[in-house]
Amino acid sequence: MYSMNTKSKKLNANNIINARKKLDNELKRKWSIMKSENTLRKSAVKTCRLHNLATIHNQILQNIEKRIIVKGILNNINNGISTFNTEEFKKSHYYTIFRLQETREQITKLNEIREKALKPQIKAQKGKKRLGFDEVFSYEKLTTMINHLTTDVNTLLTKIENYNNTTEIEITDDSINDILAA
């Protein structure tokens, strides 16, 4: 089952919960940086843009993937499954569900950043240079990112719908009769 190169590690639920909390806090901090530093007055760029936002965005994407894996590990623990394999998890329905959650959250966060970005109409009216603002991720770039993620959401929803339409369970007692009759 395990190759000679695979390192097995035992963790308890608290270890995993703490890892998730750490990722939650890190993601919250990085999204906050993106939101506060993306669109700035040109006079404030040198003193207020303290981070490379492209790097921050890349770190966010990496942490999102880590958080999906952590959610999968917690799911196994909570269901009494004492082993976890990342590659197998990525093929599972739970991976799709957790990916959907994270993708929707990305859309929400990017929309928050886009709200503060310079609107194309304003740039066209006044000219970008005369506005006196600098932005790393433009309104148009953020819209493209959101549209791509929206396509991903639709793909994930279709995958979940297909799973729900084709997956069955056999109930071996009468416990479900009253529920289904409602």
- Domain of 133? 13-165
Per the domain annotation, does 170 fall within a domain?
no
The pLDDT of residue 1 is above 50: no
Stated pTM of the model: 0.89
Number of domains composing the chain: 1
- 40 backbone dihedrals φ, ψ, rounded to 5°: -135, 155
Per the domain annotation, does 161 fall within a domain?
yes
- Residue-level pLDDT at 3: 45
List 133's β-bridge partners, or say none.
41
Per the domain annotation, does 179 fall within a domain?
no
**How far apart are the two ends of the chain, measured CA to CA in Å?**
45
- pLDDT confidence bin for 6, thresholds 50/70/90: low
Per the domain annotation, does 8 fall within a domain?
no
